[in-house]
Amino acid sequence: MGVIRVRPRPERTGAAKMSRCQRHGVEREAPPAVYRFPPQAISVEFPQESVREETMPIEVLPVRPSFVARVIGADLTALSPAATAAIGTAIDTYSVLIVPDQHLDDDHLLTLGKTFGDVEPPRNHRVVQRLKHAELADISNLDANNRLRAADDHRRLDSLGNRLWHSDASFREVPGALSMLFAHVVPPAGGETEFADLRAAYDALDAPMQARIEGLAVEHSIFHSRGQLGHTDYTDAERAALPPVLHPLVRVHPVSKRKTLYMGSHASHIVGWPMPDGRLLLRDLMEHATQREFVYRHAWRVGDLVIWDNRCTMHRGRSYDDATHPRDLRRVTTKDLSMLQPA
């Protein structure tokens, strides 16, 4: 892997300090001691600094000092080992990467997922397969014949749960690690995806709250999240196939070693606590973590591939006119095998 160097933009002079990351051999500029987030979720037009991989034409442009970056110059259909390592380093640092101007068919997307880990097949709930591979999640409002789904379509109603904050597949014993979502067709308005930084949200908790939640276990269930929207039309066999699972409320990211919250709409209650107490705590933490200072909103363009780390972020889709406009996004997700190991 080549050396990655931060190149401050020309207008940034004087105060920059350089430090070396021991794990990746990366030399990067230390972030400012105090950084004030903008009051609203921001877009990506104003990167603060540039990271360049010397031997590959890839630039990583952070949107915020440690959350969300834009990757320029990558061809995800033909990643070299050096480019793969550079993207891996970037995802460990920024948690969400936007890679624009890609041309990915279903084969390319599946291959990309396998490049970064073991692929977790999606539920693809009651769906007649529209995509080429069952390992890909169909994040669209289209049926197998590429027609818009009806308002009362069961698959559509199930998918509306993705409008609630969640981490992919947290309802599974082995949940999602990295998700890669590619935009084939986007609506003219709406349909954005928002991401929340659960590492920064944990860091911002006061010490008594950090102590209070340490070691707590949370029960997650897909039927809890769907039930919040009043969608409960699932068979006994469907419920039996996805029983509730337990995950820690506070996790240590396996690579960055940063502490992070782990919750979302699938998170039902705190194990061992009275149900109302646990749900109130989870609501408080969700309200805290989704304050705008922790949230980035991505407005999709055709050809965008967004990679995010489910182990330390939540996300939600935003509404759009799905009765009129198609929205065809396709996702591959890797398995979070670190969940099988003690923290």
* Contact set with Fe ion (CB under 5 A): 168
Residue nearest to Fe ion (CB): 168
Nearest residue (CB) to Fe ion, 89 versus 167: 167
Please report how close the Cβ of residue 51 comes to Fe ion at its closest, in angstroms: 27
Confirm if 336 and 170 have CB atoms less than 8 A apart.
no
Please report how close the Cβ of residue 179 comes to Fe ion at its closest, in angstroms: 7
Nearest residue (CB) to Fe ion, 264 versus 278: 264
Distance, C-alpha 314 to centroid of its chain: 6
Please report how close the Cβ of residue 292 comes to Fe ion at its closest, in angstroms: 20
The residue among 182, 216, 172, 204 whose CA lies nearest residue 343 is 216
Please report how close the Cβ of residue 146 comes to Fe ion at its closest, in angstroms: 22
Confirm if 255 and 312 have CB atoms less than 8 A apart.
no
Confirm if 99 and 307 have CB atoms less than 8 A apart.
yes
Nearest residue (CB) to Fe ion, 5 versus 156: 156
Please report how close the Cβ of residue 315 comes to Fe ion at its closest, in angstroms: 6
Q: Which residues, 6+ apart, have CB-to-CB distance to 121 below 8 Å?
A: 134, 135
Nearest residue (CB) to Fe ion, 92 versus 168: 168
- 3-class DSSP string for 135-182: CCEEEECECCCCCECCCCCHHHHHHHHHHCCECCCCCCCCCEEEEEEE
Nearest residue (CB) to Fe ion, 49 versus 168: 168
Kindly state the tokens that stand for 88: 């891996």
Residues in the chain: 343
Kindly state the tokens that stand for 169: 């597949």
Please report how close the Cβ of residue 168 comes to Fe ion at its closest, in angstroms: 4
Rounded CA separation 140/162 (Å): 11
Nearest residue (CB) to Fe ion, 59 versus 168: 168
